[in-house]
Amino acid sequence: MAVETKVESNVEVIKRSSNFLRGGLAQELALDTPDVSGESEQLLKFHGIYSQDNRDVRRERAQAGVALDYIFMTRVVIPGGRLSTEQWLALDGIATSVADGSLRLTTRQAVQFHGVLKGDLRQLAQSLDRQFLSSFGACGDVVRNVVTCPNLHLESGQGHLEGIALQLRESFRSTSEAHWEIFVNGEKAASREEIEERPFYGETYLPRKFKIAVSHPSDNCVDVFAQDVGLIPGDHPEAGAGFTLVVGGGLGRSYANADTFARLAEPLTFVTNEEVEEVIASVITTYRDLGDRTDRKRARMKYVVADLGLEAFRSEVEGRLGRRLRAPIPLPSSFDADDHLGWRPLPDGTWQVGIRVGAGRVRDDEHSTLRSALRHIAENFAVTFFITPQQDLIVSGLREDDRNAIEALLVQHHVRLDGELGNVERRALACPALPTCSQALTESERRLPELVSGLEGALAARQLGRRPLQLRMTGCPNGCARPAVAEIGVVGRTKSTYDLYLGGGIRGDRLASLYREKVSLDDIPDILGPLFDRWGAEGESDEAFGDFLTRVGVA
């Protein structure tokens, strides 16, 4: 019988021959062309940059025989989503100077700039560098932006957790000088001492992206079970304060590969604060060595955990660590997910206000001048901004005396306050999809408002308008807005249809299941109508939709 030999993927070859992520990037950026080669496209991802084209004009340009409208997306790493007002103002400036006039807050607390021209990529990187920000490592086969619940700094006795995202980002970032040389300041780099790349990356880095999130002890707004590694703060009866470490989550799937699936992370161990970095490093090297480098669709760590089984995976990690892992403690029973919206008092006597940002898009348009309002706040108040994993924004550190002024400012800019939001709208997420995402099969962000109002209308017609409902929508099954764990997940299937998933929940600890395939967006409120009727008639008064559907066996 012939033995199948697996060949490493092309991206592995590109990484290995790139001299630690340099390749021909510097030379190609200097060329007066609007796009880059396929090889540079792969390397650019490690620098936080995606080569895209404006898909709204793709067809007409092809028909006219002209080149695609090449644009780039730059994603900025923002550990824990925390930004100073100076940083916010710099990002706001970039949106005007080299991007499409918007800042796009992501589901991992980062900021994306869309519509950047190749010739402006360096200027953008330099503007970030001046604010101690960077896009390096926001994408690519490395540890990505570390996500934390923006509530962590509120927890008394857990104050040190606020820095965890920064600490992990620092420990697991690539130390290649490539980004600095190519995008920020080549001359200075030439005179700097060459720093060696991290041994756990080596010259081929990880098989694929690697995601870490830190939840609040009782708030899973980060979707900790959707991560390669999730940390849930807790107290071990003997070891003391630390984290339950969960491994092997991930939500992306591919229609073309039946062997791909969404998976929730499972508890592996309990680590103390002192052990957390060392254990994650062993998980990362396990993944580095055992992850699939032949098929990028199956290269995520969740497949290593699923294929080996948790116990064998644990043994692999222990082998690298040189000691046994402690057993995990039970997960918190009160796990919920805060939307972080509205006014909240802080322990130091100041206030924070969480502002809803529809699909994370901060801009000025006919509905509101949100971007101007935030610029005004950053210019005039001594505050800190936190991007939430729900694509929203918290303005934190406001004095009691400032509250009226802030409210008036938001009203003046037509930014709707917490109490004015619809109950579907306030938790709804959507990925960017068209026109920028190369993987999009359908619209998402641009059609979210109509789906939200359709669902809110269907609920209101049944006197269920006050019941919260969690909707998440994506333009393809990669699952960037995490629909696989939502109460209602709407996932692009063909050019004009979506698959409908039901039964996830606010706690993020349950996968939704497929309810209907290939439905049109317009039909979704009617398809869900009978289920809303049952929820109203048979559900407990405080029973969430996803919990109800699971209890009665619909999902």
Exposed, middle or buried, 149 (CB in 10 Å: 0-12/13-18/19+)? buried
Shortest reach from residue 262's CB to ligand SRM, in Å: 7
Look at the block and give the residue holding tokens 């021209």: 117
Question: Toward ligand SRM, which CB reaches closer, 73 or 383?
Answer: 73
Give me the 55-74 binding string for ligand SRM, x by CB under 6 A, dash otherwise: ------------------x-
Shortest reach from residue 42's CB to ligand SRM, in Å: 11
Q: Which of 112, 148, 470, 550 binds ligand SRM (CB under 6 A)?
A: 112
221 in catalytic set: no
139 in catalytic set: no
Shortest reach from residue 41's CB to ligand SRM, in Å: 10
Of residues 139, 149, 221, 476, which has the active-site annotation? 476
Shortest reach from residue 50's CB to ligand SRM, in Å: 5
Alpha-carbon span 384 to 86, nearest angstrom: 10
By CB under 6 A, residue 252 contacts ligand SRM: yes
Shortest reach from residue 7's CB to ligand SRM, in Å: 19
**Which pair of structure tokens corresponds to residue 549?**
């559907």
Shortest reach from residue 45's CB to ligand SRM, in Å: 8
What are the CA-CA distances from residue 372 to residues 59, 233, 361, 477 (Å)? 34, 37, 13, 34
From 226, 221, 35, select the one nearest 116 (Cα to Cα).
35
What are the CA-CA distances from residue 64 to residues 67, 68, 69, 236 (Å)? 9, 10, 12, 66
437 in catalytic set: yes
Q: Which of 20, 50, 243, 532 binds ligand SRM (CB under 6 A)?
A: 50
- Backbone torsion region of residue 509, taken as left when φ is above 0, otherwise alpha when ψ lies between -120 and 50, otherwise beta: alpha
Q: Which residue is nearest to ligand SRM (CB)?
A: 252
Residue 476, contacted partner among ligand SF4, ligand SRM, none, CB below 5-8 A by kind:
ligand SF4
> What's the one-letter identity of residue 508?
G
320 in catalytic set: no
Alpha-carbon span 327 to 338, nearest angstrom: 29
Of residues 15, 104, 122, 144, which has the active-site annotation? 144
Q: Which of 42, 107, 215, 220 binds ligand SRM (CB under 6 A)?
A: 107
Question: Toward ligand SF4, which CB reaches closer, 388 or 444?
Answer: 444
Look at the block and give the residue holding tokens 């030379």: 27
Q: Which stretch binds ligand SRM (CB under 6 A): 28-36, 104-112, 189-197, 505-513?
A: 104-112
**Which pair of structure tokens corresponds to residue 140?**
């690519």
Q: Which of 79, 250, 454, 539 binds ligand SRM (CB under 6 A)?
A: 250
By CB under 6 A, residue 144 contacts ligand SRM: yes
118 in catalytic set: no
Residue 112, contacted partner among ligand SF4, ligand SRM, none, CB below 5-8 A by kind:
ligand SRM
Question: Toward ligand SRM, which CB reaches closer, 269 or 436?
Answer: 436
What are the residues binding ligand SF4 (CB under 6 A)?
Answer: 431-433, 437, 439-440, 444, 474-476, 478-480
Check if the beta carbon of residue 126 is closer than 8 Å to that of residue 117: no
Check if the beta carbon of residue 231 is closer than 8 Å to that of residue 214: yes
Residue 521, contacted partner among ligand SF4, ligand SRM, none, CB below 5-8 A by kind:
none
Of residues 82, 431, 447, 493, which has the active-site annotation? 431
> Looking at residue 218, what DSSP letter applies?
T
**Which pair of structure tokens corresponds to residue 60?**
């007409």
Q: Which of residues 263-302 bind ligand SRM (CB under 6 A)?
A: 300
Shortest reach from residue 16's CB to ligand SF4, in Å: 26
Sheet containing 393-398: which strands, arranged edge to edge?
82-84, 384-387, 393-398, 351-355, 342-345
149 in catalytic set: no
By CB under 6 A, residue 135 contacts ligand SRM: no
> What's the one-letter identity of residue 512?
A
Give me the 414-453 binding string for ligand SRM, x by CB under 6 A, dash otherwise: -----------------xx---xxxx--------------
> What's the one-letter identity of residue 30?
A
The Cβ-side half-sphere exposure at 511, using a 13 Å CA radius, reads 13
Q: Which of 137, 328, 422, 479 binds ligand SRM (CB under 6 A)?
A: 479
Alpha-carbon span 549 to 555, nearest angstrom: 5
Shortest reach from residue 49's CB to ligand SRM, in Å: 10
From 271, 292, 195, select the one nearest 229 (Cα to Cα).
271
Of residues 302, 480, 482, 493, which has the active-site annotation? 480
By CB under 6 A, residue 356 contacts ligand SRM: no
Exposed, middle or buried, 8 (CB in 10 Å: 0-12/13-18/19+)? middle
DSSP string, 415-455: PPPGGGS-TTGGG-EE---TTT-TT-SS--GGGHHHHHHHH
**Which pair of structure tokens corresponds to residue 235?**
């107290």
91 Cα distance to chain centroid: 18
Active site residues: 75, 144, 209, 211, 431, 437, 476, 480
Give the binding site for ligand SRM (CB under 6 A). Answer: 50, 73, 75, 106-108, 110, 112, 144-145, 211, 223, 226, 250-252, 300, 360, 391, 431-432, 436-439, 478-482
